[in-house]
Amino acid sequence: MVLIPDNSILQRNKDALEATLKSISTTNPDAAAAAHREAEERAKSMELQQRLHRFEAIYGTDAISSASPELQQLSEQLQKKEEELRRVRLELKASLEVRASD
């Protein structure tokens, strides 16, 4: 079973990310834009994960494999958002590495 962080933890993480974003936005706008995209994708991914966990809590973890097309679509959407989040993280890391080498 995967534990879902409560809203206060999510809010603290969001606040910390926004503070970091503010500090890099003046020195490296590209890194700031990538960090902003990452924050948006994290929020979307967390929302989809929470929806999926609520569904699994009600119907069980095997329900998706035998689920309706809408539920299969939700599962695919979550996978796509997780992949997009991974891509944005890599972009941010590359941007920060470029900034560090300057």
Do the beta carbons of residue 85 and residue 41 sit within 8 Å?
yes
4, part of any domain: no
1, part of any domain: no
The most confident of 2-6, 28-32, 79-83, by mean pLDDT: 79-83
12, part of any domain: no
Strand, coil or helix: 57:
helix
2, part of any domain: no
* Statement: residue 57 has pLDDT above 50: yes
pTM above 0.95, yes or no: no
User: Domain total for the chain?
Assistant: 1
Q: Which of 79, 88, 87 is nearest to 36 (CA)?
A: 88
pLDDT score of 5: 54
Range(s) of the domain holding residue 28: 19-101
45, part of any domain: yes
95, part of any domain: yes
